[in-house]
Amino acid sequence: MRRRDFLKTSIGLAVSSTLISSENIKTNMNNSLILSTWDHGLPANEAGLKVLENGGNAMDAAEAGAKVPEADPTSTSVGFGGLPDEQGNVTLDACVMDSNGNAGSVAFLQNIKHPVSVARKVMEETKHVMLVGEGARQFAVSQGFEEMDLLTDESKKAWEEWKKKRREMTPHETHDTISVLVQDKNGDLAGACTTSGWAYKLHGRVGDSPIIGAGLFVDNEIGCAAATGLGEEVIKTTGSFLVVELMRQGYDPTAACEEALNRIIKAHNGNPDFQIAYIAIRKDGEIGSACIKGSFDYALARGEENKLHKIKGMI
């Protein structure tokens, strides 16, 4: 055997012996759960639980959950009341992915309160995965979504304060994207992710949240994962896809989140000055999470309980 062929064969064997297939993971049935980012995950989970109780599936619950902070003007990192870009425009990013591997996404969407629902319409009503900007807005209107001004007085005031300081480059201060991961009673997985992105970003900036594989990824055989934090770094490492693939390789959900973050930490000489957190559900109902620094809260609803959990950063 030529050396190259030998290497190919041995690498193939090494990888295939550690890969996990659906047969190796017992599916968590009749024990639905919802895992969401940050404390706005608690009311999001509540809404998702109601949908599950009424017979909705994982996708229905993830969308319903994500819509709660989107509609909440006090949630300044999502939807209505989200902090604007440097020019004062609220521009929104969102995506959804279901248990059949279908995905929909909108980016740089303006004047529509529920980008997550528009993303779901893109998934269900079009042949596309992603619509952006004016095209996404026109599509939303054609689907019956109402237009409205999303900049609240409070967010406008915060933006005006920021302008006075005239900071050259905005530090990534807000990192409160809502990501909702759901496993329904049939064991099926789905997720939603929605954000107004980096506060005072350059006009036109799009983060990780609408990018399938970065802000969110669902593989119904293995698990699902979602991100919050500095989107640029999540995009460069295809973060959520990486977390799911690491679970496929045998990492438990927390170890998978940590390893995905390790790659970012390493790329920043062990000391990144920004936050990223991942959440993950494995098909057997195990959940995991990790964040780079400081702390991170996730909301977990399982059985009767819907609780906030705090984890510490890795560095």
- Helices (H), ranges, the chain: 3-18, 41-53, 58-71, 115-125, 133-142, 153-165, 231-236, 239-248, 253-267
Q: Which of 177, 194, 228, 237 is catalytic?
A: 177
Residue 175 or 248: which CB sits closer to ligand ASP? 175
Instruction: Find where tokens 């970065």 sit.
Output: 214
Q: How many CB atoms lie within 10 A of CB 191?
A: 32
- The 171-200 site mask, x for binding ligand ASP (CB under 6 A), equals ---xx-x-----------------x-xx--
CA quadruple 258, 15, 235, 219: dihedral positive or negative?
negative
State the minimum distance, in angstroms, from the CB of residue 126 to ligand ASP. Answer: 23
Q: Three-state DSSP class for 177?
A: coil
Measured CA to CA, the distance from residue 315 to residue 294 in angstroms comes to 8
Greatest distance between any 2 Cα atoms in the chain:
71
46, two tokens: 């509540």
Token reading at 33: 């759960």
Q: How far is the CB of 15 from ligand ASP (least distance, A)?
A: 31
| Nearest CB to ligand ASP, comparing residues 91 and 220 | 91
Number of other CB atoms surrounding residue 87 within 10 Å: 13
Give the residue with the Cβ less far from ligand ASP, 25 or 264. Answer: 264
Residue 177 a catalytic site member: yes
Q: Which is nearer to ligand ASP, 51 or 83 (CB)?
A: 83
Q: Is 289 in the site for ligand ASP (CB under 6 A)?
A: no
Least distance to ligand ASP, CB of residue 1, Å? 47
293 binding ligand ASP? (CB under 6 A): no
Q: Which of 187, 191, 207, 239 binds ligand ASP (CB under 6 A)?
A: 207
For position 105 contacting ligand ASP by CB under 6 A, the verdict is no
DSSP 203: T
43 versus 56: smaller Cβ distance to ligand ASP: 43
Q: How far from each other are the two terminal CA atoms of the chain, in whole angstroms?
A: 46
- Residue 25 or 291 having the CB closest to ligand ASP: 291
CA–CA dist 279, 294 (Å, integer): 16
CB of residue 296 to ligand ASP, shortest distance in Å:
11
Contact track, ligand ASP, 135-174, x by CB under 6 A = ---------------------------------------x
H or E segment at 218? strand 216-219
Q: Whose Cβ is closer to ligand ASP: residue 67's or residue 248's?
A: 67
Q: How far apart are CA 310 and CA 54, in angstroms?
A: 30
From 75, 76, 105, 209, residue interacting with ligand ASP (rule: CB under 6 A): 209
Number of chain residues interacting with ligand ASP (CB under 6 A): 13
Which of 111, 117, 228, 240 touches ligand ASP (CB under 6 A)?
228
Q: Which tokens sit at 12?
A: 């193939």
Residue 197 and residue 208: Cα distance in Å, rounded? Answer: 9
Which residue in 231, 239, 253, 285 binds ligand ASP (CB under 6 A)?
231
Instruction: Give me 185's structure tokens.
Output: 């009673």
Verify binding: residue 76, ligand ASP, rule CB under 6 A. no
Active centre residues (catalytic): 177
Where do contacts with ligand ASP occur on this chain (CB under 6 A)?
174-175, 177, 195, 197-198, 207-209, 228-231
